[in-house]
Amino acid sequence: MTVKNLQDLLDEGVQGRHVLLRADFNVPLNDAGEITDEGRIDASLPTIKALLDGGAKVIAMAHLGRPKGEVNPKFSLQPVANALSEKLGQFVALAADVVGEDAHERANGLTDGEILLLENVRFDARETSKDEAERGEFADQLVALAADNGVFVSDGFGVVHRAQTSVYDVAKRLPAFAGTLVEKEVSTLGQVKENPESPYVVVLGGSKVSDKLGVIEALAQKADKIIIGGGMCYTFLTAQGYNTQNSLLQEEMVDTCKDLLERFGEKIVLPVDLVVASEFSNDAERKEVGLDGTPEGWMSLDIGPESVKKFAEVIASSKTVFWNGPMGVFELPNFSQGTAGVAQAMIDATANNGSFTVVGGGDSAASVRVLGLNEDGFSHISTGGGASLEFLEGKELPGVAVLNS
| Catalytic residue ranges | 40, 208, 362, 386
The closest alpha carbon to 227, from 349, 125, 310, 137, belongs to 310
- Known binding-site residue numbers for substrate: 24-26, 40, 63-66, 122, 162
The closest alpha carbon to 40, from 134, 210, 172, 156, belongs to 156
Q: Tell me the residue type at 86.
A: E
Output phi, psi for 219, to 5 deg.
Answer: -80, -20
- Known binding-site residue numbers for ATP: 212, 331, 361-364
Residues with Cβ within 8 Å of 199's Cβ and at least 6 positions away in sequence, in order, are 224, 225, 317, 318, 319, 320
Residue 307 near residue 272, CB atoms below 8 Å: yes
61-70 burial code (b ≥16 CB/10 A, e <16): bbbbeebeee
DSSP string, 64-113: -S--TTS--GGG-SHHHHHHHHHHHTS--EE-SSSSSHHHHHHHHT--TT
How many helices and strands (H and E) does the chain possess? 14, 15
Left, alpha or beta for 230 (phi > 0: left; psi -120 to 50: alpha)? Answer: left
